[in-house]
Amino acid sequence: MLVDLHLQGRLPLEKFVSETIGLGEVEQAFHRMERGEVLRSVVLI
């Protein structure tokens, strides 16, 4: 159901990503999430 909503443009998942980070930045990203500075971080490997 969620995939269908996204494909229909009714669930804009990209709005839920606050930042894109590298693997070496994961620990800092968790701290930013704990402080409420970001919603979600996407890790690029």
Long-range contacts of 17-23 (CB under 8 A, 24+ apart): 17/41, 17/42, 20/44
pLDDT value for 4: 96
* pTM score: 0.65
pLDDT value for 33: 93
SS3 8: coil
* CA atoms within a 13 Å half-sphere pointing along the CA-CB vector of 26: 5
Q: Tens digits of per-residue pLDDT, 1-45?
A: 999 999 999 999 989 899 999 999 999 999 999 999 999 999 999
pLDDT value for 23: 96
pLDDT value for 27: 96
Q: What is the C-alpha end-to-end distance of the chain, expressed in Å?
A: 28
Q: Are 20 and 42 in contact (CB under 8 A)?
A: yes
pLDDT value for 26: 96
